[in-house]
Amino acid sequence: MMPEIATCPLKMDTDKMRPDVSILVVGFNSSSYLETCLASVGRAITRFTHEILFVNNGTDTSEGLLKARFPPARVLPSRGNIGFAAANNYLAENAEGSWLLLLNPDTELQPNAVDMLLDAAIRHPQYQVLGGVTVGSDNRPAQSTQVELLSFATILRRMFGRASPKASTQLDNGLTELDALTGGFMMVERSCWRALGGLDPSFFLYAEELDFFKRLKDRGGRVAQVEASRMYHDIGSGEVFSAARMQFKMTGRAHYLHKHFSAPYAYACVFLIWASLALRYGAGRAMAWKSERYAYKADAFAKLVRTPRVWMRGYNSPDADPRTRSDFVRIAASEVPSEQPR
């Protein structure tokens, strides 16, 4: 039986040299978003110390932008497109904060958003992971704000468009206990991250946070969301239903299911996901005459429905993980860095 995760409250007075929080940003050709994202950090954390660490999984000029506009940020040498999980682990290995805040580059933190997370960490040391609320351009909470772990029941409920159950526990000052949070805005206590070994790098993109929270819950860890802490996210950076994004998303979910459940249960869940995709593909094709948007969505599901072998075994599916392909370019840490988020 695995040992439980021990609680470890924020101790602001024991080590003045350690920042209270390290903000970890993984970029993938994100230079058009980075300035807005990093400028918002100063407004989001005003009463605690922090550091910013960045690594570019892409090939744009993000490193130069940070060095010119945000010189205090620590830019780590790129290792190429090693995946979202591996890149965050790389940043965490070099971070010094008592807490680690994973932040997508296509986001904008609202004022005092991180202050509120750290305040909650002090008031409620029983929680090892805290996050805020993701909002859209209308400042209303996005559907992805409260995340649930995958199971046959949750997949079936999504298939028929039924809402998720209410969060398990409502606490003081708008604190809500959950099973999981979005990976683009989650703050993890340092010792907890180390105890779990960070994110599982076998996930290239998507569902790595679900795996993290499943492992955390299995060891007695607890997660909470702070209602007042908010972040705007340009979800999908304009390509929510691109075919590539959807393939990575389904591959990540399948990988999670095969990792945590028996083969019969995992394949039953994966088949249910396929059936849901087939229904959405059929509906998109049927409604394509009405709007190009329906055709666009149908195209995003086409390959997943027609050739399920490319994703049904997760990142063990043929050519599912781009890092295993012969044409995939790797950049070693010792080499000159080139000029993923979710």
| 122-157 confidence digits (pLDDT tens) | 999 999 999 999 887 777 776 555 678 999 999 998
Predicted pLDDT of residue 111? 95
pLDDT tens per residue across span 34-93: 999 999 999 999 999 999 999 999 888 899 999 899 988 999 999 989 999 999 999 999
Lowest mean pLDDT among 2-16, 121-135, 209-223, 245-259: 2-16
Domain boundaries, the chain: 21-238, 243-316
Q: Is the pLDDT of residue 339 over 80?
A: no
Nearest to 22 by CA among 68, 79, 89: 89
Q: Is the pLDDT of residue 203 over 50?
A: yes
Pick the CATH number of 21-238 from 3.90.550.10, 3.20.20.70, 3.30.300.160, 2.40.50.140: 3.90.550.10
Task: Supply 287's token pair.
Answer: 């409604």
69 vs 333, more confident = 69
> Which of 61-65, 66-70, 290-294, 313-317 has the largest mean confidence?
313-317
Handedness of CA 6, 8, 14, 20 (dihedral sign): positive
67 HSE (CA, 13 A, CB side) = 10
176 burial (CB, 10 Å; 0-12 / 13-18 / 19+) is middle
Q: What is the distance of C-alpha 49 from the center of its chain?
A: 23
Mean pLDDT taken over the chain: 85
Predicted pLDDT of residue 331? 40
Nearest to 242 by CA among 296, 287, 205: 296
Q: What share of the chain is helix, strand, coil (3-state, %, to 5)?
A: 40, 15, 40
Contact 128, 192 (CB under 8 A): yes
Mean pLDDT of 275-280: 92
145 vs 96, more confident = 96
Lowest mean pLDDT among 57-61, 98-102, 188-192: 57-61
Work out the percent of the chain whose per-residue pLDDT is above 70: 82
